[in-house]
């Protein structure tokens, strides 16, 4: 039995659900529609800190872009700003940013070159579990749920002093900073993994939730 939910659509895919369960599952999804409404969420009581070990700010020069690419980047920044993910910044920190093509499409996505910042960040040894350990934990389980969090990293709020360190500069557009966890930080995987394990920590020993980020 499988039930597919797409947060970008109001439709529920019940093709894999036996007819006798369809009404019950539909009612359950509608009851908790706020969880699947598609808007960007934010994990409560969790903030991301960035320990740069007392280093001075690093500031990169913006990469040069043609007008067409600059227009695309501006639109993507505006989308992130409307979602509350980034905001204009006066930070002394600044990482360069550019666009890369999405595989198999004609679209582009913005990436920030955090390599200079990553060299200053204190390492986080927290790691995702081994795949064989995950499979072992699922032994005997009868029901399985697969979750793909929308813009997962962006659902984690940055701690106040960490925000300015995420600043990035775009040619003829300006300087912005992330209020949510950005992609590209070397500690992001460890931070996200730790958060997801805390969020899904349940008291029942009969409910196993292996997490892989």
Q: What is the CATH number of the domain that holds 158?
A: 3.10.10.10
Q: For residue 59, is it within any domain?
A: yes
**Within a domain: 207:** no
73 and 166 share one domain: yes
Write the secondary structure of the chain as one string of H (helix), E (strand) and C (coil).
CEEEECCCCCCEEEEECCHHHHHHHHHHHHHCCCCCCCCCCCCCCCEECCCCCCCCCCECCCCCCCHHHHHHHHHHHHHHHHCCCEEECCCCCEEEEEEEECCCCCCEEEEECCHHHHCCCCCCCCCCCCHHHHHHHCCCCCCCCCCCCCCHHHHCEECHHHHHHHCEEECCCEEEEECECCCCCCCHHHHHHHHHHHHCCCCCCCCCCCCCC
117 and 187 share one domain: yes
pLDDT in tens, 50-98: 999 999 999 999 999 999 999 999 999 999 999 999 999 999 999 999 9
| Enclosing domain of residue 33 | 1-38
- Asked whether residue 172 falls in the same domain as residue 95, the answer is yes
Same domain (yes/no): 81, 181: yes
Q: How many domains does the chain have?
A: 2
Q: What is the pTM of this model?
A: 0.80
105: pLDDT strictly greater than 60:
yes
Residue 141 is assigned to a structural domain of this protein: yes
């Amino acid at each position: 039995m499988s039930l597919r939910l797409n947060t970008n659509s109001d439709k529920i895919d019940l093709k894999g659900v036996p007819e006798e369960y369809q009404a019950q599952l539909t009612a359950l999804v509608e009851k908790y529609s706020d969880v699947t409404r598609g808007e960007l969420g934010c994990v409560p009581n969790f903030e991301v800190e960035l320990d740069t070990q007392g280093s001075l700010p690093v500031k990169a020069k913006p990469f040069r872009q043609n007008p067409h690419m600059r227009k695309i980047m501006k639109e993507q920044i505006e989308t992130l700003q409307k979602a509350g993910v980034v905001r204009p910044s006066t930070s002394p920190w600044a990482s360069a940013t550019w666009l890369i093509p999405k595989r198999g499409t004609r679209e582009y996505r913005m990436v920030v070159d955090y390599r200079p910042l990553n060299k200053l960040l204190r390492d986080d040894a927290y790691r995702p579990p081994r795949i064989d350990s995950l499979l072992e934990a699922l032994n005997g389980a009868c029901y399985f749920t697969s979750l793909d969090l929308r813009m997962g990293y962006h659902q984690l709020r940055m701690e106040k002093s960490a925000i300015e360190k995420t600043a990035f500069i775009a040619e003829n557009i300006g300087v912005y900073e992330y209020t949510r966890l950005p992609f590209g930080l070397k500690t992001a995987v460890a931070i996200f993994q730790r958060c997801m394990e805390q969020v899904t920590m349940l008291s029942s020993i009969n409910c196993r939730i292996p997490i892989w980020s």
